[in-house]
Amino acid sequence: MNRKQFFLGIVLASLIGGLVAVLGVGLLQTNQDTSTNFTEKQNASLVNWLNDESFVVPEGINFVASAAQVTPAVVHVRSTVSVSRSQQGLDPMEELFGFRSPRGESTPREGRSSGSGAVISEDGYIVTNNHVIENASKVEITLEDNRRYTARVIGADPTTDLALLKIEANNLPFIPFGDSDQAQIGEWVLAVGNPYELNSTVTAGIISAKSRNIGILRDENNLQVESFIQTDAAVNPGNSGGPLVNLNGEIIGINTAIASRTGGFSGYSFAVPSSIAKKVMDDLLEFGAVQRGLLGVTIQDVNADLEETLGEDIKADRGVFVVEVREGSGGEEAGLKRGDVIIGVDGVDTYTTSSLQERVARKRPGDKVVVKFLRDGKEMETTATLKNTSGDTKVVVKVIPKITEFEGVVFEDLKVEYQERLELEGGATITSIDNKAWREAGVQEGFIITKIGRTKILNGEDVVKALKSYEGEEVIVLGVYPNGQRSYYELDL
């Protein structure tokens, strides 16, 4: 081989290698961008993984490996909300119309809530608690290396107290989901978060119990799901939304609550199991809303007092007593009746309401479950098709509010949940203000505009039309903050 042939070979090899690399990266990016669940996203990213499958916990229980693995992916979540303050004296506008003046003490101040979160994909998706970001006009994320981002709320689920956030970042360390079903009572776990603003705090404990229902979640349709992992790892205010991880560095729960009479840690804390958390995150990622499959039964734990309370012979020592079967539900179609005692779902024992709710909460409308139950003491099985809250098997897709911008102010059509909670026909929420006149008037982000002058506002387009019609005039903008405080502002257009 002469020198010319040698160099020509090197050039060709380089070109081929570069082409393979470019195609490979493009393929990985394409696969990642089309992921609709976090199993695919986490498997596709080769970042922040304990690649050694033979990893074992060091003799004597060493928490170093797990702590080093997860702390770079635990974030600080700060939410900005509008907080009302008492008004000094009476104002003519408030007295006549129930709206508060923008002057002095009547202007709502900005309140802040603080919690934790866990990065669950390298492209910036974050899991946290719903109560950490609820009613927030702005959500700010601080990474362990002090980089700061403004997050979008992809979706939230009050019935499980979970929320999915997104920041615009890539190549982030993340924590993979583990299997909470495999977690055992007595197993060592770590709670990681930001209690009392102390970043990247790691505490250790054991799993004290599973499937705990402590009655802290509320839902107007009684769809709340409580099946907490109970631990004695120290969790305090600020830990909410942070991960509970096993010694392999996997999320097995999202820290949510503490048992306390003082507000601080008193011995026990509670985490949403990863079996529920991952399903909720996948739903929010794919649909923007949680897909709840319902059996359609009202239930109650079998216990020593139940027979006396109901005045009936239950013929079961434990299980979940069916108090009522809703008409047209999957449970009714499967043949379940009042008085049945459910003891299993899909081959797994469910002797408590919390364990039954957890099993069903993993499913979507249209999914089938095999229900094992007792009727008059005789064991039976049936297959039920789960339905949604509307009584069918359709997927519920989140409606994304329309965004409108005018002269540096961004307006978002009022979300349905705010319309219902604040009893409004419509309105437009201010999500961003980069306008001197609006700032000087005292308007704050999160303010919901319901009227401009004499013009009723139902959406962002109405705002723009009204502002154009009043151009060059002084006009009064009326509305309400998410906390229910009504206000008005005098704006010079």
Binding residues: 131, 161, 238-240
Q: How far lies 378's CA from each of 41, 172, 315, 317, 342, in Å? A: 45, 54, 9, 13, 12
Q: Decide if 14 is catalytic.
A: no
Which among 91, 161, 282, 283 is annotated as catalytic?
Answer: 161
Report which residue type is found at 440.
E
Record the tokens describing residue 410, joined without a space.
């961004």
Contact 218, 92 (CB under 8 A): no
* Among 258, 254, 144, CA closest to 201: 144
Query: In angstroms, how far is CA 260 from the centroid of its own chain?
Result: 23
Alpha helices in 374-489 (DSSP H): 416-422, 436-441, 460-469
Catalytic-residue membership of 76: no
The alpha helices in 207-263, defined as continuous H runs, are none
463, 428 Cβ separation under 8 angstroms: yes
Cα gap 63→43, rounded to integer Å: 24
284-313 burial, b if ≥16 CB within 10 A, otherwise e?
Answer: bbebebbbbbbbbbebebbeeeeeeeeeee
Q: Supply the DSSP string of 264-318, one letter for each residue.
A: S--SEEEEEEHHHHHHHHHHHHHHSS----B--EEEEE--TTHHHHHTS----SS
**Which one of 35, 76, 131, 180 is the catalytic residue?**
131
**DSSP β-bridge partners for residue 79:** 113, 139
Rounded to the nearest 5 degrees, what angle is found at the Cα of 275, between the Cα atoms of 274 and 280?
A: 85
Given 79, 106, 180, 240, which residue is catalytic? 240
Distance in angstroms (rounded) separating the CA atoms of residues 182 and 286? 26
Backbone angles phi, psi at 298, to 5 degrees: -95, 130
Strand ranges, E, within 145-187:
148-157, 162-166
Report H helices in 362-407.
Answer: none
> Smallest Cα–Cα separation from 490: which of 85, 110, 87, 100?
100
* Annotation says 161 is catalytic: yes
**Could you give the residue numbers annotated as active site?**
131, 161, 240
